[in-house]
Amino acid sequence: MKKKWKTGRIDKGISLLLSIILVFSVLGAVVFSVSRKITKEMSESAVQNLSESLDLIKGTLEAILQKEAEFQLLIAREIAAKEDPKEFIRSYNKNRTMVKLSLVMEGETEGISNTGDVFTEEGLDFSAGETVDELPISKSYLNYMGTWAYTMKCPVERDGQRIAWLYVEYIYDSFEKSLPVGFYNGRAMLYIMDAHSERFVLKPKGAGERDAGHLNLEDFYYANKIMEENIRAEVAECVKNSQNILFYHDIRSVNSLTYMWAVNGGSVYLVGYVPLEAIQQESRTVNQNIFIVVVVMLGAFFLCCMLYFFRQKEQNRIRREREAEREIHNRQLAEALQAAQLANSSKTMFLSNMSHDIRTPMNAVLGFTTLLAKDAENPEKVRAYTKKITASGQHLLSLINDILDVSKIESGKVVLSVEEFTLNDLVSSVDAIIRPMAQAKNQKFHVDVMGVHHEYLLGDETRINQILINLLSNAVKYTQEGGSIWFRIIGLKQRSSQYEHIRIEVEDNGYGMTPEYLETIFDAFTRAENSTTNKVQGTGLGMAITKNIVELMGGTIDVASEINKGSLFRVELEFRIPEGRKALEFWQKNGISRILIAGSDTALCENIRLMMEESGVSADTAAGAEEALLRLKESSERYSLVLFDWNIPDIGAAEAAKRLRNALPDTSPLLFLTAYDADGMEEALRFPNTGILMKPFFVSVLQEKLLEMQDGQSKARNTVIAEDKGLNGLRFLAAEDNEINAEILTEILSLEGAYCEIAENGQIAVERFSQAAEGEFDAILMDVQMPVMNGYEATRAIRALPRRDAAEIPIIAMTANAFAEDEKEALSAGMNVHLSKPIDVELLKKVVKDIVQRRESS
């Protein structure tokens, strides 16, 4: 259809073009014929004009001759009246026209002239018989003045008797004053020629080019290359018959019109030529004007066409733009509609899932509550039911947390809290959470840190933690019992010296994922399988949250997976390296400048060496115990510390420990690197100044370990498990406006042997604390959202109280505001710890214990 329309347009264009060509052809033909006609008519007119001009000159010359003849007759009459005619002649003064008067008396051959010379007719040739007003006129001759002249003679008659002949000599120069200065603007050549001698006798002023001074007709022919015999014969014939003649001939390569114009019956001729362009100037001008008009019209036409064309083009462009815009809008609308439909579908699906997911644990809670009411007397069943109710409640809680998290990320309200953290803490905290989960499924959990140059970094630790927990908990979740999970932190080549480039890999050999699912794994509200049919429960939001956080940090996440073979998640992130670390100071202070790292895992040794050198300590590596011993033998005092990989194959760890210890001075620490599940460590720890360092290796951990060993506490810490006193005997002040929560809290704490006093809002809590004796309360449990005064304000008020323990008393936030931002705000208000509701008693116990212990130790 489109092609047909295009073809139609081309056809239309061609026919339009042909029409224009036709119109212009007709117009051109008309203009050409008009121009030709005008040229022809104007040429004829120009020739006519030239003829008239020549006639005018001819008339002028003939009038001069006529007047000369008449004047000569008058003089003759006057002479006749004189008694002494000769005296009259002698007394005559020549003028510019009549340069010589002569008189020959009848019957004499000699006469007199006004010049005083004797005059005879000899030398004057009247044989041609030419006359002016019946007076004979001689052939032209060069006179005594050196110019061309002619003489007319007339009889002097007295009483009817001729008494003498009067000869008057005229010069051609006198014609000049009566002739035009320029003929055709000086472009026309004009000579006066004596017809009989064919001698050019005058070239009037301004008549033609001045470097052309022709001698006679022959010279004129020769100079202008008029050599055609027929032309010359025709001219001769015309001159003979005293006729005028005009003929076209090229003169000096210019097409010219040559003229021979008879004057005074052919005694004198006007000879010359004029270039055609000079006489046809008018026709040329007219044609030029026609041409100009045509050009102007064509120009105007083409300008109009151009304007029309560009306007059309502009309109087409605008139309196309509008169409494109409309198309974009339509597409966007369609996409929006599709997205909305998809979202709706997803939400519907999600709601369906959530409905199921929420109802399932809720059903369990309510069901077991019912069962609990029935079997209240049976302690075993009660414990079993409460355990299941707790599990269902925790699942319900994680569902709610994830939903809220996604909602917040998607609405762009998440702000990263960038602070300094150590990879050691990060790995430790993740390990602490994941390892028990993995152990619960008999899975092997491997942690590796490689090639990381900087351990202290700037970033949002909470969110990184969230990423790692999500990935690792999924790995645990989607890996069968007895499987393996690898958690690797790999230092990549730095793109900038200010940033540490890290890749986090989480790999498992679990169920794996289908390619189809991989495409949507990072979309919200998706799960590997529909949760209604899957035993694995979850919100389907974890990966979406993870991806969003990674991208928020400017990183990337990708995944590779194969069904029944496992999955590999890779997260690449860049963290800013904090400035001014004090690691160097630590080593200097402790006198450690060079260490020895021994182990069969060369990659591990090299990694440790790099990390140590980054922190300012030189390090040597040894491939095994033997090599290490050799180095120590060479110079044991050279090394301030020896790190030794427990998994050393050559001589056995215990034996190696013994020999190394012997080789080292007692003051130099010997530390064994080991994994959690290493055996035989107890034996090694019996040696003095010897300790264990858990993998993965971190410089900060090494530093802490060294400090511990210096304090002599390491052994106790490594072997003795701290006594768990629980919360027994502790006194809490709890600010909680919700009575049920307050009751639950009171009950839980009382079960743990602690006392809890409830304040209904922040204000009351502040007042109560201010009235309490110092040390009356061990800690304050602070709800956040409360009437009268919220938890933040209350905390600030407490911290601001003028009492010694106001700044020290632990304040623990216990709030339903569970986001990282909430935690941040709580801490900034002066609280020590943030715990989200519902209260996890174990967690509360741990936190309280840590705070109390810290306070005691300080």
Partner 1 sequence: MRKNLGCIKKLTAVCMAGMTVFAMAACAKEPEVFTSESDNGKIVNLFGPMEKSKPDKNNIARNAFDMTIAIAEEQLGLRVEYRTYTAENYKEKTYDDVTLDRARNALDDIYLLNPDTIQTLGSEGYLEDLSILKNVENLRDVVKVSNTVDGKLVAIPQEVVAYGLFINEELFEQYHLSPPETPEEFLECCRVFKENGIETPVGANRWWLENFVFAQVYADLYNGGNTEAEIAALNSGEKKYSDYMRSGFEFLQELIDKGYIDAEKASISEAIEAEGPDFLAQKTPIVMAYWSAANAETAYGAPDFSMKVIGFPSTRGQMPVLSMSGYGLNANAEHKQDALEVLDIVLSNEALELYAQTNKVISPSKNVEVECTPALQPLNDRIMENVYVLGSNAGMKVEQWGNTCLIVRKLLNGATVDECMAEFDRLQEESLK
Binding interface with partner 1 (CB under 8 A): 49-50, 53, 142-147, 173, 180-186, 199, 203, 205-206, 210-216, 219, 222-225, 252-253, 281-282, 285, 288-289, 292-293, 295-296, 299-300, 303, 306-307, 310-311, 313-314, 317
CB of 203 to partner 1, least distance (A): 8
The minimum distance between CB 211 and partner 1, in angstroms, equals 5
Nearer to partner 1, 314 or 655 (CB): 314
Half-sphere exposure of 192 (CA within 13 A, CB side): 25
Q: Sort 259 into a burial class: Cβ within 10 Å, 0-12 / 13-18 / 19+.
A: buried
**CB-based contacts of 320: which residues, under 8 Å, 6+ apart?**
none
CB-based contact 795:833 (threshold 8 Å): no
CB-wise, 125 or 282, nearer to partner 1? 282
Q: Which is nearer to partner 1, 303 or 376 (CB)?
A: 303
Task: Closer to partner 1 by CB, 203 or 837: give it.
Answer: 203
Which helix H or strand E contains 363, and what residues bound it? Answer: helix 281-374
Q: Nearer Cβ to partner 1, position 198 or 825?
A: 198
Cβ proximity to partner 1: between 42 and 571 the closer is 42
Between 250 and 627, CB nearer to partner 1: 250
Closest CB to partner 1 among residues 219, 825: 219
Burial category of 93 from C-beta neighbours within 10 Å (exposed 0-12, middle 13-18, buried 19 and up): exposed
Please state, in angstroms and rounded to a whole number, the distance separating the CA atoms of residues 235 and 540: 120
Q: Minimum distance between the CB of residue 216 and partner 1, rounded to whole angstroms?
A: 6
**Which residue, 29 or 145, has its beta carbon nearer to partner 1?**
145
Q: Taking a C-beta distance cutoff of 8 angstroms, is the pair 832, 798 a contact? A: no
The Cα 372–Cα 790 span in angstroms is: 36
Residue 757: closest CA among 731, 775, 783:
731
CB 453 to partner 1: min, Å? 55
User: 10 Å Cβ neighbour count for 692?
Assistant: 17
Our CB check for partner 1 shows the closer of 279 and 764 to be 279
Backbone Cα Rg of the chain: 65
- Angstrom distance (rounded) from CA 680 to CA 683: 6
> Strands 641-645 and 670-674, how do they pair?
parallel
Taking the complex as a whole, the smallest distance from the CB of residue 257 to partner 1 amounts, in Å, to: 13
Distance in Å, CB of 179 to partner 1, minimum: 9
Q: What is the nearest approach in angstroms of partner 1 to the Cβ of residue 70?
A: 26
Is the CB of 107 or the CB of 116 nearer to partner 1? 116
Eight-class DSSP state of 697: P
Rounded Cα distance between 702 and 423, Å, is 13
What values do phi and psi take at 263, rounded to 5? -120, 140
- Choose between 289 and 713: whose C-beta lies nearer to partner 1: 289
CB of 58 to partner 1, least distance (A): 14
Which among 576, 38, 559, 570 is positioned nearest to 282, based on CA atoms? 38
DSSP-H helix ranges across 615-711: 625-634, 653-663, 681-684, 699-711
Closest approach of Cβ 274 to partner 1, in Å?
Answer: 10
Compute the distance between CA of residue 556 and CA of residue 552 in angstroms, rounded to an integer: 10
Cβ 212 to partner 1 shortest distance, Å: 6
Three-class secondary structure of residue 207 per DSSP: coil
Q: Which residues lie across from 484 on neighbouring strands? A: 444
Q: Tell me how far, at minimum, the Cβ of 823 lies from partner 1, in Å.
A: 57
Expressed in angstroms, the distance from the first to the final Cα of the chain is 88
Question: At 639, which helix (H) or strand (E)?
Answer: none
The least distance separating partner 1 from the CB of residue 305, rounded to whole angstroms, comes to 11
Cβ 151 vs Cβ 169: under 8 Å? yes
Distance CA 361, CA 831 (A): 33
Query: At which residue do the structure tokens 């919700």 appear?
Result: 738
